[in-house]
Amino acid sequence: MGRQQHLTVASLFSGIGGFDLGFESAGFRIVFQCEINKFCLDILEKHWPQVPRAANIKELISASIPFSDVWTAGFPCQDVSLARVGRRAGLKGARSGLFFDFARLVGERRPRVVLLENVHGLLHSHKGRDFETVIRTLAELGYCVGWRVLNSKNFGVPQSRQRVYIVGCYRDREGPGKILFESECRERDAEASKKNGQKLVSPFKRIVGDSGGKGPLVQSIAYCLCACSARHTGTDWSRTYVPYPKSGRVRRLTPKECEGVMGFPEGWSLPADGQYKIDDLDTLRYEALGNAVTPPVAAWLSSRIRVYLLASKSQDSRREIEVASCG
């Protein structure tokens, strides 16, 4: 039990703590955070007031990061995202290029496990060369790397949100596979997929609510929330709207509803001090939630990382006993 309590995480590009919340639910202790956005820092301070944190990863010194079993990094996606209008800068961009600052710090400290998250557009950015750069950089630092695209809707989150998760285990080529992939095979929903079975219906077309009343009506699965403001940005393809059939009124999801769609507790993205104007606050919450990691996916990954780390530490202890016995 003692080892479980002492598993620790350093969170970089913390956002509003999606990774952190997920890891805490699996018994990890958050020992460090790094985030440059002022609003997100206020949210982190509200939920983790005792955790030391830094603002600018470019100025961060590795020695200031406490020892941690795991480092997480939901590094910026703006320069590789498919939602970006125009040409994507990729890892040469000022935002997504901050990955190299993360890699610099990893190279100086070599945590046992690193976990990165980004939009699945990273896989295709510059015809896959940016993703290759990420993998090669981690490999050159001594990490065996695996990756998997996970959709939040498969983890109890009412949103179709595909993200690529990259796991690096220091000098252990079996580790990423143990963490990212289940050994058991599960049966699919055979009834719905049979030739004469019920015709499959897109979850985006399944409506929840009183269709004959005043509403509101919502889709059973929301589209991927983008990091946009409360104002119209032209990215309607990624929006989920709430109609009221009788009145004809249509609105977008509220920040409170977005918290639920992302898998955060109610009120998570509200700062403690109330220093923001209401119009500004809504915009800031939309942006922060749209950029966040969904905690249920983080919880699933962290539970598997915990099993891996505890098994590895147990093996190391046995080796030490064997060496001592031989001596």
Q: What is the DSSP string of 183-218?
A: SS-----HHHHSTTSPPP--GGG-EEE-TTSS--EE
The tokens for 225 are 């929330």
Of 240, 231, 276, 271, the residue nearest 258 (C-alpha): 240
Residue 37 in any domain: the answer is yes
Residue 186 in any domain: the answer is no
pLDDT tens, residue by residue, 136-151: 999 999 999 999 999 9
> Are residue 19 and residue 155 in the same domain, yes or no?
yes
Residue 43 in any domain: the answer is yes
Output the pLDDT for position 287: 92
> Are residue 38 and residue 60 in the same domain, yes or no?
yes
Find residue 146's DSSP bridge partners. Answer: 167
**CA-to-CA distance for 244 and 249, rounded, in angstroms?**
5
> Are residue 47 and residue 168 in the same domain, yes or no?
yes
> Are residue 310 and residue 168 in the same domain, yes or no?
yes
> Which residue bears the tokens 């709430």?
242
Do 98 and 57 touch, CB atoms closer than 8 A? yes
* Residue 224: active-site member: no
Assign 3-state DSSP to the chain and report helix, strand, coil percentages, each to 5.
40, 20, 40
Residue 189 in any domain: the answer is no
> Are residue 8 and residue 150 in the same domain, yes or no?
yes
Output the pLDDT for position 291: 92
The CATH number covering residue 36 comes to: 3.40.50.150
> Are residue 156 and residue 222 in the same domain, yes or no?
no
> Are residue 113 and residue 250 in the same domain, yes or no?
no
Of 265, 311, 297, 292, the residue nearest 172 (C-alpha): 311
> Are residue 12 and residue 110 in the same domain, yes or no?
yes
Residue 305 in any domain: the answer is yes
> Are residue 42 and residue 150 in the same domain, yes or no?
yes
Structural domains of the chain, count: 2
Low-confidence ranges of the chain (pLDDT < 70): 1-5, 77-96, 184-213, 215, 227-239, 314, 316-327
| pTM score | 0.85
Of these residues, 77, 169, 224, 228, which one is catalytic? 77
Residue 275 in any domain: the answer is no
Residue 40 in any domain: the answer is yes
Q: Residue 280: in which H helix or E strand, if any?
A: helix 278-290
Output the pLDDT for position 255: 92
> Are residue 171 and residue 198 in the same domain, yes or no?
no
> Are residue 148 and residue 98 in the same domain, yes or no?
yes
Structural domain of residue 263, as residue ranges? Answer: 194-267+282-289
Output the pLDDT for position 28: 98
Residue 252 in any domain: the answer is yes
> Are residue 82 and residue 19 in the same domain, yes or no?
yes
